[in-house]
Structure 1
């Protein structure tokens, strides 16, 4: 897939399909974008899990926090990545090891690794890169998920 551009309908369709989201790299600091986006997604109706090894067992933005994706006690529909691009391949590997696998790997603004995306897509996992769901949801006027 070409990750230089996404149709609005494609983004809206994915954000309408997912219900559980793991935010990898969620920060306990309220001023950090990962904290605000995790909170926004939860307030928008998604079931959100924060992933931060140093904060496992605590709450980030009022959300349960786990050290790694495999620790989340239920299937994850979307992995939202707040890690530097050089770590994306490792996050993809961790996501692909889950059973069932997530349906979508989403990377935040500035996070892009075409090789990691190709690996995920070859395994049947969709990828949206260099976008923020907390920007896309209001921009596309998407309703709160049920």
Structure 2
């Protein structure tokens, strides 16, 4: 299993990041992905919803795209809300993005060693099995 970056490195990542692509973001306000993305948006991050089922719809005021490769602007963090076994294709898609992100963040309960190895080989920081919203609060980002 991949070792997560230190608390200090994760705090620095969150403080230096502006845009988060949320893979698997739901348009349903009662879903964890929606609640976490809304909290990160309220903390000042730009959220880009990535979900082929709702592509073209507006979620949290942002237009959803079907895939990471449709994003033209730089993304700092790719935040994943998918089952662990569905993460490798997300890593492969992340490799094809126009702008390489700083981090590949698998939410709490999500791990995929193959995807992590692929992202590490690309020089992208890998965080697994941690909630970005909880980390943001616990690490006291911006305090």
Q: TM-score range by the shorter chain?
A: over 0.9
Equivalent residues of 1:108, 1:129 under 8 A apart: yes
- TM-score (normalizing by structure 2): 0.93
Deviation, 1:72, is 1.8
1:134 counterpart = 2:140: no
**What's the counterpart of residue 32 of structure 2?**
33
* Alignment correspondent of 1:11: 10
Work out whether residues 24 and 82 of structure 2, in 8 Å CA contact, stay in contact via their aligned partners in 1.
yes
Counterpart residue number, 1:43: 42
Task: Tell me how far apart the structure 2 counterparts of residues 45 and 70 of structure 1 sit (CA, whole Å).
Answer: 24
Aligned position for 1:117: 116
After superposing on structure 2, the runs of 4+ consecutive aligned residues of structure 1 that deviate more than 6 Å are: none
Cα deviation, 1:102-142, whole Å, max 9, x if unaligned, reads 11100101110112101111111111111111101111221
2:80 maps to 81
Size of the alignment, in residue pairs?
A: 143
State the 1:91 CA deviation: 0.2
- Aligned-residue CA RMSD (Å): 1.6
TM-score normalized by structure 1?
0.91
Structure 1 unaligned blocks of 5 or more: none
Instruction: Show the counterpart of 2:142.
Output: 143
